[in-house]
Amino acid sequence: MKQSQFETRHQTEWQTFAETLAALERGKGNQPILIADFPAAYRRLCQQLALAQSRGYSMRFVERLQLLVQRGHYQLYRHRSPLGGRLLGFFLGGFGRLVRAEWRYLAAASLIFYGSLLGMAGLVLAFPELVYSLISPEQVAEMEAMYDPDASRLGRFGEHGSADDWVMFGYYVMHNIGIAFQTFAGGLLFGLGSLFYLLFNGLIIGAIAGHLSGIGYDQPFWSFVIGHGAFELTAITLAGAAGLKLGAALVAPGRQTRSEALRLAAATAVQLIAGATLFLLIAAFIEAYWSSMTYPSAPVKYAVGALLWLLIGIYLTQSGRRFHAAE
């Protein structure tokens, strides 16, 4: 079936669904579709979206249906499930679907972040003095102390050197979530703030990685970061994707006003940052209670880290998938 025929066949249904969503979002009681009939209408829309994707219809058309599905998903679970059930459903399936729907923003954020990280690491390995152009000599010395092969606990220095694991867990939570929210909120500056923080953090982490690898501290450093890095680094790119989503709505609002485009983009971006926050909590727990340990051998830590990266990949690419019969 051609796209024009498909649109003509279902246009009235989509318009009614959109009007119902608008009424629900404004909190009004009179909706074109009764609440009791809303789940069936939502399921039909999901099937139509799957068909549009499988048939290769235009990107703009598919994105329009995706937005309706996302708004419908929120309203469906808002009216039918308690908060705990909605959160569980979101993290078990909804978040994965959301990330896949917004893969372009995640790909852009990942390219900027990992590209700058790997590029700076390579440059510092080739030109060791370059690390001091980004990090002060005092900070470099602290990093060397944190990952000294003879240290009793990795990743700790100064006042945190002998801190309890639960203290470090709280520290990591506050520090990492602060970075993520900076990256996310930077999107309100037409996306430039998000671009800056992705690039800046990538360069800093890359410079540290390149320096420590160059002086022979590669094993303690990489065995420390590989475990929690699966969640922490992914969370940074998710926060960046959320920020870029906001920035894109401001730069190119399309036929909508900037405020309306931003409101719709924020509904998706807030969900992305919610998932990133959960990832950061998991990362902080692993960093405090596992990454800093020195008695597990480096191969064991590499194996655990590789498994965690694999699990993240499976979760983001497979969770919440549904199979729909052809129309």
Do 249 and 175 reside in the same domain of the chain? yes
Residue 98 lies in a domain: no
* Contact between residue 142 and residue 155 where contact means Cβ atoms under 8 Å apart: no
Do 53 and 167 reside in the same domain of the chain? no
Between the CA of residue 143 and those of 88, 155, 221, 232, 246, what are the distances in Å? 39, 8, 10, 19, 35
Residue type, 174: M
Residue 86 lies in a domain: no
Structure token digits, residue 309: 């990266």
What's the domain range around 56?
3-80
User: Which pLDDT score is estimated for 113?
Assistant: 97
* Contact between residue 273 and residue 242 where contact means Cβ atoms under 8 Å apart: yes
Q: How far apart are alpha carbons 221 and 73 in whole angstroms?
A: 42
pTM for the whole thing? 0.74
Residue 91 lies in a domain: no
User: Which pLDDT score is estimated for 84?
Assistant: 65
Q: Flag residues of the chain having pLDDT under 70.
A: 28-31, 33-36, 77-86, 157-163, 322-327
Do 169 and 24 reside in the same domain of the chain? no
Do 74 and 112 reside in the same domain of the chain? no
Do 70 and 120 reside in the same domain of the chain? no
Do 238 and 168 reside in the same domain of the chain? yes
Do 150 and 267 reside in the same domain of the chain? yes
Q: How far apart are alpha carbons 196 and 113 in whole angstroms?
A: 10
User: Which pLDDT score is estimated for 35?
Assistant: 67
Using one digit for the tens of pLDDT, what is the confidence trace for 23-53? 887 776 566 766 667 888 888 999 999 898 8
For residue 78, report the phi and psi dihedrals to the nearest 5 degrees: -65, -35
Do 14 and 107 reside in the same domain of the chain? no
Among the candidates 48, 80, 112, a domain finishes at: 80
Do 51 and 118 reside in the same domain of the chain? no
Residue 126 lies in a domain: yes
Do 63 and 140 reside in the same domain of the chain? no
User: Which pLDDT score is estimated for 327?
Assistant: 40
User: Which pLDDT score is estimated for 28?
Assistant: 65
Residue 326 lies in a domain: no
Residue 87 lies in a domain: no
* Contact between residue 211 and residue 143 where contact means Cβ atoms under 8 Å apart: yes
Instruction: Return contacts of 314-318, CB within 8 angstroms, 24+ apart.
Output: 315/96, 316/96, 316/99, 316/100, 316/234, 317/96, 317/100, 318/96
Residue 250 lies in a domain: yes
Residue 25 lies in a domain: yes
Among the candidates 47, 80, 113, a domain finishes at: 80
User: Which pLDDT score is estimated for 299?
Assistant: 94
Number of folded domains that form the chain: 2
Do 255 and 188 reside in the same domain of the chain? yes
User: Which pLDDT score is estimated for 229?
Assistant: 94
Do 250 and 313 reside in the same domain of the chain? yes
Nearest to 75 by CA among 108, 33, 107, 109: 33
Q: How far apart are alpha carbons 219 and 304 in whole angstroms?
A: 15
